[in-house]
Structure 1
Amino acid sequence: MNDMPRWKNRPEGSNWGDFGPDDQIGRLNLVTPDKVLAAVREVREGRSFCLSLPLDFPGGTAINASRKPPEVQPVMDQGRPNMNFPYSCNNPHHLDVLCDDQVLLTLQYSTQWDSLAHIGQEFDADGDGVAELVYYNGFRGGTHISGPADHQTGGDSGAPSGARALGIEKMAETSVQGRGVMIDFKAHFGEERVYVNYDQLMRVLEADKVVIEKGDFVCFRTGFDEMLLSMNRQPDAKKLRSSFAALDGRDERIHRWIEETGLVALIADNIAVEATPAKASTADRFTALPLHEVCLFKLGVYLGEFWLLSPLADWLRERGRSRFLLTAPPLRLPGAVGSPATPVATV
């Protein structure tokens, strides 16, 4: 550990350095060719499910005021919109008609992946008693992940915005294909708001005979997606946030379960995978998103949010199954800290 280039201290319970001093993909290292082959063997009927919401859901800004729905516009060419544009305007001999558009897209508005650059922490990685802005495996805010504003000084950082390490393109380069495993909270808790602790989670796994193995992508169906779709782009944020079961991010036994299983990602149909707001903490300083801390900051475990899981979960439950082949690469967009996704489950 003393030879690590960016840190002397690593967070308790983290795996920093375990995949190498410069690793940027975390637990995706565990998705070996054998794990992909095991996932392919889960395909029995050749049926596929789209696990993405339409990217203009949830609709509006009621759920997150800073994340706005996509704006699709035609590409402009010499002041003219390229939408139903006849080539004959330029050459009377041409028959072609052109449509060409562009989009202003908030990358984490709808069905999404969080990259390992999405959540970091103020942490004393240098061992000098002073906390730095640090991300997974010791990559630094301001050096490796930067923005136009320096929030500690309140001034202009003078740096271009983006992730020069841990960006979403590192995830995309792995292809993100492996075995998905469905855990159906709605079947056990209905629409009741429940902060699911470790004991409750274990009872669900035992009742449904769900087994999680190293390298798996673990999905939590809560029913949030069905209610959200029924609201048709006019979400009732209060009702959504007060309904459905979600993981209790403060339960340290769940943290150990994530660490010990070797799972690669936690995916849910809800806002944040974990229940928000998190339960109160008695510490003087604490994380607002404890499951994000454990997964993104400490272990290199990815988080998928706002996925469309209910149709697949119902299909699997009717057949006594929980496993499937998951293909879910994000956009290969260098420097981005999150990405929309159009995941596909094949059964």
Structure 2
Amino acid sequence: MATVKDFDALADQVRNWSRWGTADQRGTLNLITPEVVRKAAATITDGTTFPLGMDLSPRGPQLPGEVTGRMNPIRTMLAVNVPLAPPPDTSAYSDDLVITPTQTATHWDALSHTSFRASLYNGIPAGVITAAGATELGIDRFGVVLSRGVLLDVARHVGGAHLPRKFAITREVLEATERAQGVAVEPGDVVLVRTGLGRFFLDGDIPGYRTEVPALDVDAALYFHERDVAAVAIDNMPTELLPSAVEGVALPLHTLCLVMMGLPLGENWVLEDLAQACAADGRYAFLLDATPEPFVNSTGGLVSPVAIR
């Protein structure tokens, strides 16, 4: 098991504090420049679209009794065919009410989602998060997330329908997958990591989707830092291996990415159809629209991402 001293050395290697100024709220999303967007648009060949988000429904990925208190969305009606004018030419309206955590299904973690030693990204005190929400580093600070997406299909590279339970996706594994696919991850890219566990969710097996998941190892942060990745998403929950491989640090990868690098993390993405298309023609880069709902002061953001090839 790694020590806190080892972790602190790694944190110093990847730290981006003040890289984009002391007042920065967007972190590595600053790497998505107009030039990156133009290159992303150039990846489109036939315009085929792939939705990467889960349906918002009671049959979501959350299980009863979650430690986090998260639940699947609850939807009810505010109004059902309420008339606005008398007969015979009656117009009527219907409205819904939804109660949901912002990190219940396919989502981005805002940079305010995780703190370490009472600090958030860029050294902002964790005390900016109150009962009013994240007054700094909320999901509303992301703005538009439109960039080149790159799928690293680790499951297909390693072999099998999905990665083995508790498989560690290390820096070396990511590098090997990148080489095997013949794609170069470039600055400003959004990297999507496929474990293959998304198939369990699509088949309705939520315990299978959630049990002993393969996930990113701590040193994957070095891979993302060296390539100046803008954001990372995965087809499971959580992003990182649990329990922690660093003694005394509960969420080491979340800390390295969200707090030290300012790198957004996405969870519960649906990558199966996209992975099949990428494997069929060997093209693993595409235009990705992954702009979250801009809930003001929220520590997370629901998103319905779309890949365009």
TM-score, structure 1 as length reference: 0.80
User: Equivalent residue for 1:67?
Assistant: 70
**Which string of whole-angstrom CA distances, capped at 9 and with x for unpartnered residues, describes residues 279-331 of structure 1?**
3x3x4xx3222111111000111101000111101111111111000001111
One-letter amino acid of the structure 2 residue matched with residue 247 of structure 1: L
Note the alpha carbon deviations across 1:202-226, whole angstroms, 9 max, x for none.
2222111121110000001111111
Superposition deviation, residue 12 in structure 1:
1.9
Q: Distance in 1 between matches of 2:140 and 2:104?
A: 18
- Cα offset, 1:271, TM superposition: 0.3
Paired amino acid for 2:267: E
Residue 261 and residue 140 in structure 1: after superposition, are their counterparts in 2 closer, same or farther (change >3 A)?
same
| 2:157/2:180 contact within 8 Å kept | no
Whether 2:126 is the aligned partner of 1:138: answer no
Deviation (angstroms), 1:99: 1.1
Distance 1:54 1:36, change over 3 A: same
Aligned to 2:172: 199
**Equivalent residues of 2:244, 2:250 under 8 A apart:** yes
Identity %: 33
Does the 8 Å CA contact 1:62/1:236 hold for their aligned counterparts? no
Alpha carbons 1:266, 1:273 under 8 Å: kept = no
The separation in 1 between residues aligned to 2:288 and 2:65, in whole angstroms, is 31
Residues 215, 238 of structure 2: 8 Å contact kept: no
Residue 276 of structure 1 and its aligned partner are, at CA, apart by 2.2
Partner SS state of residue 66, structure 1: coil
Matched AA of 1:241: T
Partner Cα separation in structure 2 for residue 110 and residue 269 of structure 1: 11
What corresponds to 2:212 in structure 1? 242
User: What code does the residue aligned with 1:343 have?
Assistant: P
Paired position in structure 2 for 1:84: 81
Matched, 1:107 2:76: no
2:126 partner SS? coil
Deviation at 1:63, TM superposition (A): 6.0
Alignment deviations for residues 45-82 of structure 1 (CA, whole Å, 9 cap, x no partner): 1111110011221154366661111111122xxxxxx1
**Residue 335 (str. 1) matches residue 297 (str. 2):** yes
Q: Give me the whole-angstrom Cα distance separating, in 1, the residues matched to 2:192 and 2:51.
A: 14
* Counterpart code for 1:68: M
Q: Which has the higher helix share?
A: 2
Query: For this pair of structures, how many residues does the alignment match?
Result: 292
- Structure of higher CA gyration radius: 1
- Asked if the contact 1:182–1:219 (Cα under 8 Å) also holds between the matched residues in 2, the reply is yes
Query: Where do residues 1-347 of structure 1 align in structure 2 (5 Å cutoff)?
Result: 12-13=12-13, 14-56=15-57, 57-61=60-64, 66-75=69-78, 82-88=79-85, 91-92=86-87, 94-122=89-117, 133-142=118-127, 144-147=128-131, 161-171=132-142, 173=143, 175-189=144-158, 190=160, 191=162, 192-193=164-165, 194-231=167-204, 235-236=206-207, 240-243=210-213, 245-249=214-218, 251=219, 254-279=220-245, 281=246, 283=247, 286-347=248-309
The gaps in structure 1 that reach 5 residues or longer are 1-10, 76-81, 123-132, 148-160
Tell me, which stretches of 5 or more residues in structure 2 are unaligned? Answer: 1-10
CA contact (8 A) 1:85 1:98 kept: yes
Q: Does the 8 Å contact 2:257/2:263 carry over to 1?
A: yes
2: CA distance between counterparts of 1:62 and 1:49? 33
1-structure distance, mates of 2:65, 2:176:
34
